[in-house]
Amino acid sequence: MLKFIFRRALESVGVLLCVSLITFYLSKAIPGGPFDQEKKVPEAVKKQLEAYFGMDEPDWKRYLTYTFQFPSLPSTKFPNRRVGEMIASKFPVSLELGAYALIVALALGIPSGILASLKPNTALDYVPSSLSMVGICLPTFVMGPLLVIIFAVQLRWLNATGWENPSDKILPSLTLGFYYAAYVARLTRGGMLEVLNQDFIRTALSKGASMVSVIFKHALRGGLLPVVSFLGPAAAGLIAGSFVVETVFAIPGMGQEFVKAVSNRDITFITGLVLFYASLIIFFNLLVDIAQVFLNPKLSFKD
């Protein structure tokens, strides 16, 4: 397994290089620069700003600077901040929110998915299935304001915005969690049905094993496989933050920065964010690949 991880780490370097290179050329290709604004900036001023951020250097030099020194570079939009510290101050917030949302998603999604798979196409299936789909029917930009209206404006139990008190974290986590819970529930149901119909489960049941023990000892392993595959990128996305949830609840996380940094053409910050996010993706997909081996005894790390 160590060898597997080591090889993966090597490959990841290649992935990060590809990502940074493509991002660099994307940012060169899209119209508009960081210093364009409604009232046109005089050409001479713009030149000075571009020089300060190294934008007048040859491409290869710019690329190397942006990619390898991004933590210590100033953001073009917020020049008194450094990219590294901007990520460091926002990531913990997104991580916390993402973790709560993930807990909500799993705690709601997996049980209701299992429940639905036990007696397919009966009320026991339709009720949890329909409930779990509410998370998708009400996209986060509807769910968020709706929860705010109920719990903040009407009931006055919770704050409408912010990320200060522990109670502030409930609504955003639920909003984000409900959405993913729907995916988890549906994929669990599908995966479980797949497994529950297999011979070894029926054999186990016919031998008198209890349903609960069959589910937890045998079925869940294979049944959760699609959920696990889904969770790799989903978890990375969750922890990296959500643009909608963060703007609706005014949370100082990293998710809104992905969109805003691009609108601002904040090239130094974009590079930092993309590389950071790529590392998250690589890390979580690695975790998933390891988990897949553990979930399927027939597999080994050589595959």
Residues of span 253-292 touching another protein by CB under 8 A:
253, 256, 258-259, 262-263, 265, 270, 273-274, 277-278, 281-282, 285, 288, 292
Q: Sign (positive/negative) of CA torsion 129, 131, 132, 134?
A: positive
CB of 86 or CB of 239, closer to another protein: 86
Q: Which of 61, 64, 79, 294 binds another protein (CB under 8 A)?
A: 79
Nearest-CA neighbor of 243 among 273, 198, 271, 218? 273
The nearest distance, CB 218 to another protein, in angstroms, is 14
Residue 206 interacts with another protein (CB under 8 A)? no
Residue 194 interacts with another protein (CB under 8 A)? yes
The nearest distance, CB 64 to another protein, in angstroms, is 19
Q: Measured between alpha carbons, how far apart are the two ends of the chain, in Å?
A: 11
CB of 84 or CB of 233, closer to another protein: 233
x/- map, 38-77, another protein, by CB under 8 A: xxxxx-xxx-xx-xx---------------------x--x
Residue 157 interacts with another protein (CB under 8 A)? yes
x/- map, 93-122, another protein, by CB under 8 A: --------------xx--xx-xx--xxxx-
The nearest distance, CB 3 to another protein, in angstroms, is 13
Q: Which of 99, 170, 204, 290 binds another protein (CB under 8 A)?
A: 170
Q: Which of 5, 6, 9, 26 binds another protein (CB under 8 A)?
A: 26
Instruction: Give start and end residues of each alpha helix (H) in 53-197.
Output: 59-68, 83-118, 123-137, 140-147, 170-196
The number of beta carbons lying within 10 Å of the beta carbon of residue 239 is 23
| C-alpha distances in Å from residue 21, one per residue of 16, 68, 204, 237, 282 | 8, 12, 53, 21, 17
Q: Which of 54, 229, 287, 301 binds another protein (CB under 8 A)?
A: 229
| C-alpha distances in Å from residue 154, one per residue of 41, 147, 159, 245 | 47, 10, 11, 20
Residue 18 interacts with another protein (CB under 8 A)? yes
Nearest-angstrom CA–CA distance, 301 and 303: 5
Long-range contacts of 43-52 (CB under 8 A, 24+ apart): 49/76
Nearest-angstrom CA–CA distance, 247 and 256: 7
Q: Which of 27, 67, 175, 242 binds another protein (CB under 8 A)?
A: 27
Residue 123 interacts with another protein (CB under 8 A)? no
